[in-house]
């Protein structure tokens, strides 16, 4: 797939394409509204939900809870869907969630090589790179190369486990709690949890980064 954000060689081309597409989508919405198939107010609400309510802050709260509460961590790792719904996150594209835990010897990474499957209730909608050809092709064959693209290396002796989301099971990575966070509240811990650390293409922030 082309990426409008990174493919600078085709910048002008993309701009004209964008406005054509913009017109096409506007016209389509008009037709569907006039036919009574869609209600623009419902569309506004769908957009607002994923722009302001459902996003990686949800997943960060789940991870922070797991770091703080051993019983919750155990529930999350044994059956993630009901554990996550304890925090109020459930539903579309998160009907069947599995949480996978990073350790000093094992790093988990999640991909969908066939399309863009992603745990919406905890991470929101996927970023462009997650849906892009480079990530979808490379993650299963050269995950260390992908991590290098994200600017980090794993220590020697850390194996990688890649989860290709080919069914309706959605995977959430439980990253390792950073050192130096003893006694932190869940709220402070959640500030360390990045979206990419829950996909496996990043690590949580270190305490000095949020000081």
Partner 1 sequence: MEGAHDMGGVAWSGPVHPEPDEPVFHAEWERRAFAITLAMAMPGGWNIDMSRFARENRPPEDYLSKSYYEIWLAGLERLMLERGLVAADEIETGKPLHPTKPVARTLSPDGVAAMLHRGGPTEREAKSPALFAVGDRVRARMIHPPTHTRLPRYVRGHVGTVELLHGVHVFPDSNSMGQENPQWLYTVTFDGRELWGPDGDATVKTSVDAWESYLEPA
Q: Which of 117, 132, 165, 197 is catalytic?
A: 117
Residues in region 175-204 near partner 1 by CB under 8 A = 196, 201
Which DSSP letter does residue 142 get? -
Q: Is 132 a residue of the active site?
A: no
Give me the torsion for CA of 161, 167, 169, 175, rounded to 10°.
Answer: 20
2, 115, 137, 185: which is the annotated catalytic residue? 115
Q: How many CA atoms are closer than 13 Å to the CA of 170, on its beta-carbon side?
A: 27
2 is catalytic: no
Q: Catalytic annotation on 117?
A: yes
Among 87, 101, 144, 191, binds partner 1 (CB under 8 A): 144
Scan for tokens 């993630």, then name that residue: 80
| Minimum distance from residue 136 beta carbon to partner 1 (Å) | 4
C-beta closer to partner 1: residue 47 or 185:
47
Q: How far is CA 82 from CA 49, 130, 206, in A?
A: 22, 26, 29
Q: Taking CB under 8 A as the rule, does residue 146 contact partner 1? A: yes
Based on the shown chain and the rule CB under 8 A, indicate whether residue 6 belongs to the binding site for partner 1.
yes
């Amino acid at each position: 797939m082309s990426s409008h954000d990174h493919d600078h060689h085709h910048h002008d081309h993309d701009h004209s394409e964008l406005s054509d597409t913009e017109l096409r989508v506007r016209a389509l919405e008009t037709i569907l509204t006039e036919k009574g198939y869609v209600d623009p107010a419902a569309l506004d609400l769908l957009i607002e939900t994923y722009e302001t309510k459902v996003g990686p802050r949800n997943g960060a709260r789940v991870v922070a809870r797991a770091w703080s509460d051993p019983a919750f961590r155990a529930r999350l790792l044994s059956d993630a869907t009901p554990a996550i719904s304890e925090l109020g996150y459930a539903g579309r594209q998160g009907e069947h969630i599995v949480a996978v835990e990073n350790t000093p010897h094992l790093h988990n990474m999640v991909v969908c090589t066939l399309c863009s499957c992603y745990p919406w209730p905890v991470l929101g909608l996927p970023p462009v790179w997650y849906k892009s050809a480079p990530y979808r092709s490379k993650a299963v064959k050269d995950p260390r190369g992908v991590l290098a693209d994200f600017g980090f290396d794993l220590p020697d002796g850390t194996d990688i486990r890649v989860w290709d989301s080919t069914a309706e099971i959605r995977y959430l990575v439980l990253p390792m709690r950073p050192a130096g966070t003893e006694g932190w509240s869940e709220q402070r811990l959640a500030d360390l949890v990045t979206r990419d650390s829950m996909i496996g293409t990043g690590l949580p922030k270190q305490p000095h980064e949020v000081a």
